[in-house]
């Protein structure tokens, strides 16, 4: 039950972020969505959320590469809705290459979007959370915040980094009613992973279903994808009273990937 709460999810025009925004809306929160995408994608996201909530969803187009825009997005949210109670740092991108081949601009973009944007958003949101004595910050990390995989140097570095940021944010606010936790999913079938399935299919001459099975069997003992809706429920749990004393930790939903 989140009525009266204001929730902002970065990168919520697609995938995991969209499922989280929808679930927060279903639970009664005022939701602010953010992300890239054309008018049609945005309209589809709005419609999806409108199917579970009558409250109009607000969109902020801040690019996660731009710290000033991130700060402005938080300020606008606070001015428009009186508070920011729940911040989910979710926006993320992927690029795969070996270290020696990794394009510099992809390294910089992944570190900026997958790690630094969470720092900028949290820094902007914390003063208001402290003032109101309530805050829930959820950082969408990954199993790659816990273990490595070849050809994902920037992503693995950013995700290990965001778990570090999660711990420090939790410690600095431990006596305020502000928690900060990270979610660590394994494979989730979103556009971010669909691109990796397609690449594997093309490389090995497989159809999409075969490539998806191969991707899973290489890493995830459960042989199934984590659903965006399962992550959305986990995010809601982190905002529920049951998680009031849970901070600075990780919730791993990886089908056993990191248990190996
Ligand atoms: P997705 O591609 O479906 O969604 C990514 C979202 O981020 C989109 O809304 C996109 O518009 C937004 N975004 C990208 N660049 C942006 C920018 N510069 N400024 C603002 N928004 C931007 O991907 P997803 O799988 O839903 O990923 C969401 C998060 O989950 C990411 O942090 C990702 O690393 C993490 N994650 C995904 C998986 C997976 O298997 N899909 C696994 C573990 C963690």
Q: What is the mean pLDDT of residues 69-73?
A: 98
In the CATH hierarchy, which top-level class contains the domain 6-186+227-253?
A: alpha beta
Residue 170 sits at φ, ψ, to 5 deg, of -65, -45
pLDDT greater than 90 at residue 215: yes
Q: What is the mean pLDDT of residues 108-128?
A: 98
pLDDT band at 76 (very low <50, low <70, confident <90, very high): very high
What mean pLDDT is reported for the chain? 97
Q: What is the mean pLDDT of residues 31-53?
A: 95
Q: Which residue is closest in CA terms to ligand 1's atom 12?
A: 11
In the chain, domain spans: 6-186+227-253, 187-225
Which of 9, 16, 49, 184 to probe ligand 1 with, by most ligand atoms within 8 A of CB?
Answer: 16
8 C-alpha vs ligand 1 centroid, how far in Å?
Answer: 15
**Segment 146-158, tens digit of pLDDT:** 999 999 999 999 9
Q: What is the mean pLDDT of residues 105-110?
A: 98
The pLDDT of residue 208 is: 95
Residue 184: partners with Cβ closer than 8 Å, 6 or more residues away: 141, 142, 143, 145, 146, 163, 250, 251, 252, 253, 254, 258
- Residues marked active site are found at 155
Listed in sequence order, the DSSP H helices in the chain are 15-26, 39-50, 67-81, 104-111, 117-132, 153-172, 191-204, 208-219, 228-238
pLDDT greater than 90 at residue 132: yes
**Segment 7-20, tens digit of pLDDT:** 999 999 999 999 99
pLDDT band at 192 (very low <50, low <70, confident <90, very high): confident
Q: How far apart are CA 167 and CA 15, in angstroms?
A: 25
Express as a percent the part of the chain with pLDDT over 70. 100
Is the interface score ipTM higher than 0.90?
Answer: yes
11 C-alpha vs ligand 1 centroid, how far in Å?
Answer: 6
Q: What is the mean pLDDT of residues 237-259?
A: 98
Q: How far apart are CA 116 and CA 66, in angstroms?
A: 10
pLDDT greater than 90 at residue 206: yes
Q: What is the mean pLDDT of residues 194-199?
A: 93
Residues lining ligand 1, Cβ inside 6 A: 11-17, 35-37, 63-65, 90-93, 113-114, 140, 142, 185, 187-188, 190-193
Q: Which residue is closest in CA terms to ligand 1's atom 33?
A: 92
CA 254 to chain centre: 15
């Amino acid at each position: 039950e989140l009525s009266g709460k204001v929730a902002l999810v970065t990168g919520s025009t697609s995938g995991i972020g969209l499922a989280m925004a929808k679930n927060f809306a279903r639970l009664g929160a005022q939701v602010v969505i953010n992300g890239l995408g054309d008018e049609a994608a945005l309209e589809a996201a709005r419609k999806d959320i409108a199917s579970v909530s009558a409250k109009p969803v607000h969109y902020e187009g801040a690019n996660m590469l731009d710290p000033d825009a991130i700060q402005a997005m938080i300020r606008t949210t606070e001015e428009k809705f009186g508070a920011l109670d729940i911040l989910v740092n979710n926006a993320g991108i992927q690029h795969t290459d070996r270290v020696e081949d990794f394009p510099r601009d992809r390294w910089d973009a992944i570190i900026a979007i997958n790690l630094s944007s969470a720092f900028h958003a949290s820094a902007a949101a914390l003063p208001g959370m402290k003032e109101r004595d309530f805050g829930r910050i959820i950082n969408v990390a990954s199993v790659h915040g816990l273990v490595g995989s070849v050809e994902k140097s920037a992503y693995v570095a950013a995700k290990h980094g965001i778990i570090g940021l999660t711990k420090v944010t939790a410690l600095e606010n431990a006596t305020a009613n502000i928690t900060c936790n990270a979610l660590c999913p394994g494979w989730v079938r979103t556009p971010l992973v669909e691109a990796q399935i397609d690449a594997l299919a093309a490389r090995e001459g497989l159809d999409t279903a075969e490539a998806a099975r191969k991707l899973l069997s290489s890493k995830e003992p459960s042989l199934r994808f984590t659903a965006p809706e399962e992550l959305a429920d986990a995010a809601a749990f982190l905002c529920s009273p049951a998680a009031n004393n849970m901070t600075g930790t990780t919730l791993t939903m990886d089908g056993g990937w990191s248990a190996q």
